[in-house]
């Protein structure tokens, strides 16, 4: 079922935890804003389109929880802030993809250093548009890891859950007994982010009794 859902790009986007991914797309060129919106929607994204970074910033301020990703043009002609200024505000909370016509590498570097997760060249290829969800997932993992470092008790709770699951005979990892638990405790501080996440998922599945299904 999971593989079927992921068979199409729209499937991946719509299987996103919390529902369809919501993109704020900002572009001064009306033709390209229309084209980009259509491309995103075709891949299952829910799109809010704004014609300037100024309008985009207002949209964010009016609905802080309303978006998962921001895509904005860099260069603008109209009054108000440009894409770089918009980036400074948006990148604090959202993954931001910048896009522009052909730009020097220095401009792209500036964008990345100032917080963008990608700097793409217009017109974006269909595959690039389809895959923007990856930046959302990457940001979520980064935020989760930052949160886990600060909350040591959550890590202890994961370890305690595994201990409970083991007592119920659901854990076949072969690390049973006090020696096994001590060894695992000593390893805990050396776990990478991926190991920590995998341990958390395993613990949840064990508690649900779904591991291996």
Phi, psi of 35 (to 5 degrees): -65, -45
Minimum Å gap between C-beta 35 and other proteins is: 5
* Sheet of 69-73, strands arranged across: 46-50, 22-26, 69-73, 96-100, 118-121
Within positions 16 to 45, which residues make up the interface with other proteins, using CB under 8 A? 28-32, 34-35, 38-39, 42
Closest CA to 65 of 93, 103, 33: 93
Within positions 62 to 91, which residues make up the interface with other proteins, using CB under 8 A? 75, 77
Minimum Å gap between C-beta 31 and other proteins is: 4
Pattern of binders to other proteins over 162-201, x per CB under 8 A? ----------------------------------------
Q: Is 126 an interacting residue with respect to other proteins (CB under 8 A)? A: yes
Interface with other proteins (CB under 8 A), residue total: 18
Minimum Å gap between C-beta 72 and other proteins is: 14
Instruction: By CB under 8 A, name the one of 11, 80, 115, 123 that touches other proteins.
Output: 123
- Residue closer to other proteins by CB (options 115, 123) is 123
Minimum Å gap between C-beta 39 and other proteins is: 7
- Residue closer to other proteins by CB (options 44, 95) is 44
Minimum Å gap between C-beta 126 and other proteins is: 6
- Residue closer to other proteins by CB (options 36, 69) is 36
Chain residues in the site for other proteins (CB under 8 A): 28-32, 34-35, 38-39, 42, 75, 77, 100-101, 122-123, 125-126
């Amino acid at each position: 079922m999971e593989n079927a859902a992921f068979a199409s790009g729209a499937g991946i986007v719509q299987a996103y935890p919390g529902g369809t991914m919501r993109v704020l797309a900002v572009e001064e060129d009306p033709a390209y804003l229309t084209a980009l919106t259509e491309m995103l929607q075709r891949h299952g994204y829910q799109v809010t389109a704004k014609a300037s970074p100024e309008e985009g910033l207002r949209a964010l301020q009016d609905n802080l929880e309303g978006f998962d990703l921001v895509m904005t043009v860099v260069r603008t002609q109209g009054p108000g802030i440009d894409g770089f200024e918009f980036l400074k505000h948006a990148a604090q909370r959202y993954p931001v993809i910048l896009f522009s016509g052909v730009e020097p590498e220095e401009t792209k570097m500036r964008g990345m250093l100032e917080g963008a997760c990608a700097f793409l060249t217009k017109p974006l290829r269909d595959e690039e548009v389809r895959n923007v969800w990856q930046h959302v997932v990457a940001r979520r993992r980064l935020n989760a890891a930052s949160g886990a470092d600060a909350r040591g008790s959550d890590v202890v709770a994961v370890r305690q859950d595994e201990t409970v699951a083991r007592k119920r005979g659901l854990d076949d990892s072969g690390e049973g007994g006090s020696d096994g638990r001590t060894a695992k405790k000593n390893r805990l501080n050396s776990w990478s982010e991926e190991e920590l996440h995998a341990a958390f998922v395993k613990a949840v599945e064990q508690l649900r009794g779904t591991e291996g299904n």
